[in-house]
Amino acid sequence: MRRADRLFLLIHALRGRRSALTAQRLAETLEVSLRTVYRDVADLQRSGVPIEGEAGVGYMLRKGSDIPPLMFTPGELEALVVGTRFVRAFGGVRLGREAAAALLKIEAVLPPELRERSQRTRIFAPEVERMENSGLIDELHAAVTASRVLRLDYRDNDSRITQREIEPLCLAFWGGSWTLGAWCRLRCDFRNFRPDRIVAYVPTGEVFVEDAERGLDAYLRAVSSPRTEP
């Protein structure tokens, strides 16, 4: 668990309590050591969070005080909810899971009226059987993040299969389909590949290093003008 997530959960565990929560209980809840709990509480206190208590007794938020709720307008909150739904439907398995977890954290500290509003929006993005829900987008995203060279069997517009070795740079969603932006070593140029036309792929084991001529910035400049098909 990231430290920022742990600190958030620690504060959330103390919200609205009328009695002190022991460090041992916090450690069990967060699955960390007592030493980590003591250090985190001390850091939060130094940053101004009104936590009272001590080791061996327990901790609670100072009586009459609370952490102010996140201040979202109803429109901002609805945008977050709708955005989360679209990420869950189209952003791949991993990002969908992370988006849902992020929304739960936000809703945990919202005032009741805004929390209820978050459940009433009528814009949906149904999670149907699509390639992004099969894990392909996650795997391509991982290759982009790790700068891993991929070898593809790729089907072109005429249904011919060609072999490509590419340096993946980014993923883009166009409202109905994804494209994978990459440097194509066969064409010695930037190309956009549709994931639904990737017949097979495998990492070569090579990690590439972006430079000024074939990195992401150069790709973004190149795609601003008309491109040929892969």
pLDDT per residue as tens digits for the range 154-207: 998 889 999 999 999 999 998 878 999 999 999 999 999 999 999 999 999 999
Which residues are paired to 162 by β-bridges?
Answer: 154
CA distance 213 to 216: 9
CA distance 164 to 182: 11
Scan for tokens 């150069």, then name that residue.
218
CA distance 224 to 219: 9
Instruction: Please report which confidence band the pLDDT of residue 67 belongs to, taking 50, 70 and 90 as the band edges.
Output: low
CA distance 176 to 65: 48
CA distance 49 to 70: 15
Alpha helix segments (H runs only) across the chain? 3-14, 23-30, 34-46, 74-90, 93-108, 112-118, 136-146, 216-222
Instruction: Inform me whether the pLDDT recorded for 105 exceeds 90.
Output: no
Mean pLDDT of 111-139: 79
Instruction: Please report which confidence band the pLDDT of residue 118 belongs to, taking 50, 70 and 90 as the band edges.
Output: confident
Whether the CB-CB separation of 86 and 123 falls below 8 Å is answered with: no
CA distance 15 to 66: 7
Residue-wise pLDDT for 192-221, tens only, equals 999 999 999 999 999 999 999 999 999 999
The type of residue at 92 is: G
Those residues with Cβ within 8 angstroms of residue 18's Cβ, 6 or more apart along the chain or in another chain: 60
Q: Coil, strand or helix: which one is 152? A: strand
Structure tokens at 133: 């829900």
Those residues with Cβ within 8 angstroms of residue 107's Cβ, 6 or more apart along the chain or in another chain: 115, 118
Q: How far is CA 60 from CA 5, 11, 52, 174, in A?
A: 19, 9, 6, 48
In this structure, the strands spanning 58-61 and 51-54 are antiparallel
The pTM of this model reads 0.65
CA distance 22 to 181: 52
Instruction: Please report which confidence band the pLDDT of residue 106 belongs to, taking 50, 70 and 90 as the band edges.
Output: confident
CA distance 185 to 163: 10
